[in-house]
Structure 1
Amino acid sequence: MTDFTMRVDQNKYLPAGSEEVHAIVTVEASGPIERAPMAEAAEIIIVDTSGSMSYDKIAEARKAARAAIDTLRDGVYFAVIAGNHEAHLVFPDRAVVLVPATPESRNAAREAVSRLVAEGGTAMGRWLRRAADLFGDFHQAYPGAIKHAILLTDGKNEHERAPEFAANLAYCTGKFVCDCRGVGVDWAVAELRQIASTLLGSVMDIRRPEDLEADFRAMTQAAMGKTVADVALRLWTPRAAKLNFVKQVSPALEDLTGRRTEVDALTGDYPTGAWGGESREYHISVRVPAGNVGQEMRAGLVRLVLPGSGEVLAKGNILAQWSDDPVQSTRINPRVAHYTGQQELASLIQEGLQARNDGDLDTATARLGKARGIAEKAGNEETATLLDKVIEIDPATGTARLRRDVDKADEIALDTRSVRTVRMRKDPEA
């Protein structure tokens, strides 16, 4: 069985009168990873087949879908949906349930995928709703199953009104995890980020259609490695305390604060989705009533639980102790400082790109220039390299200026990957 461990990093000492408590909670799933039983996993591949996918993109999408089908392990239930302004079940043919992966079903699915054609509009919420219905039927038989989807698009959600899209996305929430991929330069990062965020998945840019096949294979392999379907971060705080936020900060930024499900008046669950052998980190901030010098209190109790049974997989304490020793109380925990900087980096990039697109070049230059400095200091080489394609730094003066000609694909890559974080260069001692 997968083993979970939890570690809490913080400086518990607060100066007199201070009320803010911050902690980085590291959760690691390790040990002898046993694959989930074959009947307890399901995969749905959603391929954009709108008119803009013509020519090379639809051909490469067919290859990518076939690669995902080939990567499914025996017994995993699956389906393929072709999406344009409607959602079409490509495989299984004329069925309303998922089917297990076998040599025969894989061959039939590959054949169905080979006939995909590009025509029509784009309505991603309808594609997702169809997937949710298929997963829902599967969930009745296997309530603890791992349910994962891949969504590929090359365009914007132009044939579904915003209220319908919002309703469809709400309908899908909590029913499956979805990783999203945008190919080319005509899709909207914000749209796919909204889907991935809501459905606890990832979003990534694929610059060249010919890179889709390897990416789909890697995504499916990662999904096949998940062993626990649903885990929640359960947080208790004292009666007089106020929760500021709960955020995932590694491997990517995700604000979970608004996802709280009440357990009781002092306790709430925050979803984290499916787990395999991996490590994630969370930033928790709590405001507590200021105590007297020398007073110590528990500002939070963090537990990792299985939502259905409430079984506790790991736990840790967030503490607060007031001190009049400035050496103790003014020291910022390095992990807290690191991930606070990573969150600022993402905000600066997104604000800078928006200002650039709005024509506010001074704001764009200031935001992106500051982001470049933070990325370099944090050792985030990928982000620093992407920033260098949008701005340039004068080596003599250190002044940043926007580049005149920026490849749209580079801008999309910077925006998409702004929420990906890096761990500290040297892991501090607990």
Structure 2
Amino acid sequence: MRTTDLRGRELSRGDLLSLVPRAALGANVAVERVRPLVDDVAARGESALREQALQFDGVEGHALRVPAELVAGSLADCPADVREALTELIARLRLGSAAQVPAERVTEIGAGARITQRWQPVSRVGLYAPGGKAAYPSSVIMNAVSAQVAGVPSLALASPAQQDNGGLPHQAVLWAAALCGIDEVYAIGGAGAIAAFAHGVHEIGLEPVDVVTGPGNVFVAAAKRVVSGKVGIDSEAGTTEILVIADGSADPRFVAADLISQAEHDEAAASVLVTDSEEFAARVLAEVGERAPKTQHADRVRAALEGPQSAVILVSDLETAARVSNAYGPEHLEIQTRDDEGVLAAITDAGAIFVGSYTPVSLGDYLAGSNHVLPTGGTARFAAGLGAHTFLRPQQIIHYDLEALAATEAPLLALARAEGLPAHGEAVSARFEQEGI
């Protein structure tokens, strides 16, 4: 991992935004690569999807829509301990997600005048689960449970076809779908899946959705940007990233293990340590050097840690560390310091925050009860992670009786005249003409 020394420098927010490490391939570049793929699916439907499956997944002749009986039947091959763990994940996430659904609220503006605020779920959602370098049944559950808790009535799931599973999505993805009660599953991956959700594919019975959610690589994130506006999206959840704020009180073994855990996802994964202790940074790097070669995906981890998106950043103090983190806007932020709560108070921009030495990001990936589908690439500075709220729209229901409307007539007419829209006022006055008032 390279080291960037910011100690002793007076840096503005703009400076920090330009200095934080980022992947060489950003979403803007990826958009230009995926736009033709999205447009092709919109124009040619199934034919385009099959060509993309052969090009990117090496699969052809498979069923793009997985038969419902195969989804349900996949559980016969699910190991008991994995099924138990997935069931526990579902239960914990339902609890965490339920807290994100606001109750209906009625506000009395005056006598006979009220506004009801309700949160209405969208009608149909497309859920994406990656299937490249690893299987992500946990991502299926994060998407599905959040939508179900919100009350979404129609869910469709897409995940890439696997050569070693007969053109079906990864078996573990099917297990998760079955446990969540999803029977509309498609063996479609990448930008093509996002395009299929947005535009629909009549030949395979895939109706367009209202919202597309789910993590993926930078190309999946870019495809979401392309279709945004035609459909809603959760966030641009691309390749994973972790930023750890730690001082000399932290355990370098824990920090090193956490940096490696996220680097395991992908060669483009970002692992960043921000610390005010040069000595601690050296100890972490030594631990990384010891641990990384021994992990199963050592080559992938090494590529991620050596990439431009990963770094150790030295700062003068923890206040500056928080400023660096806010400029970075990490998907996952860990805080391991003598004053965790003090650092937390200075944090404004992060997808999810893991506080203390015994709250690793991998807990959030699986069983914390939080959602692991989070904004990446700096978008946490303005976007939220996935939750039940992603699938809900606030609606205001306004109800006034005649007397309540009468109380507004004079000021409303004044505003309508001021804006040069007299018919707005006349629409109110007409009610009193009708009533003979």
TM-score with structure 1 setting the length: 0.30
Give the structure with the higher percent helix.
2
Greater Rg by CA:
2
Q: Which has the higher contact order (CA 8 A, sep 6+)?
A: 2
TM-score with structure 2 setting the length: 0.30
